[in-house]
Chains A and B, each alone.
Chain A
Amino acid sequence: MNMKAGAAPDLAWPSDVTDVPSEVFVRKDIFEEELERIFYGPYWHTVGHEAEIPNPGDFKTIDLGRVPLLVARGKDGVVRVFINACSHRQNQVETAPCGNRKGFECPYHRWTFKNDGSLAGCPGSEDFSPKFRKEDYGLKQVNMTNVFGLILVSLADNPPDIDTYLDRGKQNLEKQIGHKEGLQLLGYQKVRYGCNWKVIMDNDGYHAPLLHTGFRLLGWQSGGGEQFVRDYSAGVESQLVPGKSTGILKDSSLIEFKDSQWDAGSFVTGIFPATILVKHMDVISIRFPIVRSVDCTEIHYAYFAKGGDSEETIKHRVRQASNLLGPCGMISMEDAAIFRRIQLAAEARGTAIFQKGVKDLKSIPNQFLQNDESPNIPRWDHYRRLMGFSKKGEA
């Protein structure tokens, strides 16, 4: 399924590397072009983690851009990803967000599919057209790969090698979800934010100690951390050490770090275009993005425990995950509120200008401190080139 990317929308990009034109957050034509070039293009998109569908017959549905997908574990235990459309007349096959089924039935003309996608039954096939061959009419499978259980797909025929794609990000992923006994799903928080997907991905290292009063009030100190940026992955690896408790919380057990044996670090990984994985303290979380429109991005926060966790550890992970890092989280609700305000103000089509950590206006930086916002610069430059926007004064 290769969709056709069009010509680059008309946009003159400012010449200083610090500058981003806010109109990229609000222009519908740019969003449509991003769907074609990026979301349906030769890149990898996360659609799930194996632990979300642990048993044969388990499935989930999710949209990639506007394309409906069905992620299913077959009777043979193999995870496959299909277009969620019937091979007959392209009716949507599965409507539930998740569940367990022996097979899938399309109610329109009652064609049935096994949970490995193959066509099992099709009433009246003796009268079908000359081009019908049952073995050709399974659900359409899409390119997929699996990294530490994370399921990524590409609708294009020529996705890049996944290790090259993830690059340094893979090291972070291993620390976040690469536990040898695997992960177990704890559940979801799902929400729609009234902002463009790039607003979320443009979150920076500068804001963390400033916007999030929680970090200060709780006496958390961030140890020396490292930010990295590659073409398709970016992230932070740091030691977030709880400092002296300031006594602000009556129940400080909420912010205890119980599983520091595994890895004491705090890890955030962004995978291009729009996925974020977070491991802070005992929270293991994957944020699956669904880009709904130019100003609406749906996020499914999926939370996990490690395979083999004790009941007590699971309970702790559940209360920490539930209260700290989602759409109502003590140290994350503010981000969501900011995303919306950026989106609203982007209608003024001004220029966002990065400052923290910037040394030169014409070269793309590649070394960053933990609280710099300069790591966003190479990411924007990559996006700009991918979208075909040329800089003012360039051809």
Chain B
Amino acid sequence: MSSMTQEVLATIDDLQNRYIAALDGKDITAWAGTFSEQDEATYICRSAENEAMGWPIALMLDDCRARILDRITFITKIWKGTFQDYRTRHFTQRLSCEQESDTVFRVRSNFSIEYTLDPNASSTLATGLYEDVVVIEKGEARFLSKRAVYDTTVLPNYIVYPF
């Protein structure tokens, strides 16, 4: 983390904040908008158990830009009107940020997602680690890849929104 400027860190933190604000605000299009427009952009959410054991299964596996956009379709069209909605609040803490090239950074952050399904009972939906590759494209930070690895192996509910 030698020559990381405050400015770069602020740009990266701002991206993470836009990400969680999009999710907590249920703006799934804005969520997709935090990812790079390159075809190789990926979002992968999987359990720490699968990760530790080397099993490839994920909970959400968007391994290209088109899949990320299709997740918008899942949520806004395919599942529309079928589920009891819940609110989320994401909390993150950046642990490390390493520069890989002029425009590429590797960022690791803890995350915790509180959710409210019953209005009188907020509780933890999942907690884990974000492993992100961030690119600065046209002066703006975007995720080239985001991996959400959750410790909450047995999730407490069905899952609608990305972690």
Question: With A321-B57, A322-B59, A341-B84 as given contacts, are A188 and B49 in contact (CB-CB < 8 Å)?
Answer: yes
B55 touches A322 (CB 8 A): no
A328 touches B159 (CB 8 A): yes
| Shortest distance from the beta carbon of B114 to any chain A beta carbon, whole Å | 17
A327 touches B53 (CB 8 A): no
Report the Cα distance A328→B59, complex, angstroms: 7
Q: Is A298 among interface residues, defined by CB-CB distance under 8 A? A: yes
User: Which chain B residues border A214 with CB–CB below 8 Å?
Assistant: 78
The answer, among A254, A330, A333, for a CB contact under 8 Å with B83, is A333
Q: Scan B41-76; emit 1 where CB is below 8 A from any A CB, else 0.
A: 000001101100101111111111011011001100
Stretch from B3-11, B23-31, B97-105, B150-158 forming part of the interface with A: B150-158
Q: Scan A170-191; emit 1 where CB is below 8 A from any B CB, else 0.
A: 0000000000000001111111
Q: Is A249 among interface residues, defined by CB-CB distance under 8 A? A: yes
User: Which chain A residues border B155 with CB–CB below 8 Å?
Assistant: 190-192, 327
Question: With A188-B50, A213-B80, A338-B82 as given contacts, are A333 and B158 in contact (CB-CB < 8 Å)?
Answer: yes
B57 touches A188 (CB 8 A): yes
User: Which chain B residues border A318 with CB–CB below 8 Å?
Assistant: 56-58, 61
Report the Cα distance A189→B155, complex, angstroms: 9
A323 touches B61 (CB 8 A): yes
Question: With A322-B60, A330-B74, A340-B84 as given contacts, are A190 and B158 in contact (CB-CB < 8 Å)?
Answer: no
Please give the number of chain B residues whose Cβ is less than 8 angstroms from any Cβ of chain A in the complex.
36
B59 touches A336 (CB 8 A): no
B82 touches A334 (CB 8 A): yes
Report the Cα distance A190→B66, complex, angstroms: 26
A98 touches B154 (CB 8 A): no
| Shortest distance from the beta carbon of A95 to any chain B beta carbon, whole Å | 14
User: Which residue of chain B has the shortest Cβ distance to A330 in the bound complex?
Assistant: B74
B78 touches A185 (CB 8 A): no
User: Which chain B residues border A217 with CB–CB below 8 Å?
Assistant: 77-78
User: Which chain A residues border B58 with CB–CB below 8 Å?
Assistant: 318, 322
Q: Scan A296-318; emit 1 where CB is below 8 A from any B CB, else 0.
A: 00100001000000000011001
| Shortest distance from the beta carbon of B119 to any chain A beta carbon, whole Å | 13
The answer, among A213, A248, A298, A333, for a CB contact under 8 Å with B159, is A333
The answer, among B50, B82, B158, for a CB contact under 8 Å with A328, is B158
Q: Which of A205-246 contact B (CB under 8 A)?
A: 211, 213-214, 217
Q: Is A28 among interface residues, defined by CB-CB distance under 8 A? A: no
| Shortest distance from the beta carbon of A187 to any chain B beta carbon, whole Å | 3
| Shortest distance from the beta carbon of B83 to any chain A beta carbon, whole Å | 4
User: Which residue of chain A has the shortest Cβ distance to B58 in the bound complex?
Assistant: A322
Q: Is A169 among interface residues, defined by CB-CB distance under 8 A? A: no
Please give the number of chain A residues whose Cβ is less than 8 angstroms from any Cβ of chain B in the complex.
41
| Shortest distance from the beta carbon of A266 to any chain B beta carbon, whole Å | 19
| Shortest distance from the beta carbon of B68 to any chain A beta carbon, whole Å | 9
Question: With A187-B53, A188-B47, A188-B55 as given contacts, are A213 and B154 in contact (CB-CB < 8 Å)?
Answer: no
User: Which chain B residues border A74 with CB–CB below 8 Å?
Assistant: none
User: Which chain B residues border A109 with CB–CB below 8 Å?
Assistant: none
B70 touches A250 (CB 8 A): yes
User: Which chain A residues border B80 with CB–CB below 8 Å?
Assistant: 213
User: Which chain A residues border B59 with CB–CB below 8 Å?
Assistant: 189, 322, 326-328
| Shortest distance from the beta carbon of B56 to any chain A beta carbon, whole Å | 5
B73 touches A248 (CB 8 A): yes
User: Which chain B residues border A190 with CB–CB below 8 Å?
Assistant: 47, 49, 153-155
B83 touches A187 (CB 8 A): no
The answer, among B50, B61, B79, B154, for a CB contact under 8 Å with A319, is B61
User: Which residue of chain A has the shortest Cβ distance to B159 in the bound complex?
Assistant: A328
User: Which chain A residues border B154 with CB–CB below 8 Å?
Assistant: 190-192, 298
User: Which chain A residues border B73 with CB–CB below 8 Å?
Assistant: 248-250
User: Which chain A residues border B61 with CB–CB below 8 Å?
Assistant: 318-319, 322-323
Q: Which of A74-101 contact B (CB under 8 A)?
A: 97-98
Q: Is A337 among interface residues, defined by CB-CB distance under 8 A? A: yes
Chain A residues with CB under 8 Å of chain B are 97-98, 185-194, 211, 213-214, 217, 248-251, 254, 298, 303, 314-315, 318-319, 321-323, 326-328, 330, 333-334, 336-338, 340-341
* Nearest 7 Cβ contacts at the A-B interface: A187-B55, A187-B57, A337-B83, A336-B158, A251-B66, A322-B61, A250-B66
Q: Could you give 26 example pairs across A and B, Cβ below 8 Å?
A: A185-B55, A186-B55, A186-B56, A187-B53, A187-B57, A189-B47, A190-B49, A190-B155, A191-B154, A193-B157, A193-B158, A213-B78, A217-B77, A251-B64, A251-B66, A251-B67, A318-B61, A319-B61, A322-B58, A322-B60, A323-B60, A323-B62, A328-B60, A340-B84, A340-B157, A340-B158
Other 20 A-B pairs with CB < 8 A, given A193-B158, A327-B59: A98-B49, A187-B46, A188-B57, A189-B59, A190-B155, A191-B155, A217-B78, A248-B78, A249-B66, A254-B67, A298-B154, A314-B56, A319-B63, A322-B61, A333-B82, A333-B83, A337-B84, A338-B82, A340-B158, A341-B84
Chain B residues with CB under 8 Å of chain A are 46-47, 49-50, 53, 55-64, 66-67, 69-70, 73-74, 77-80, 82-84, 153-160
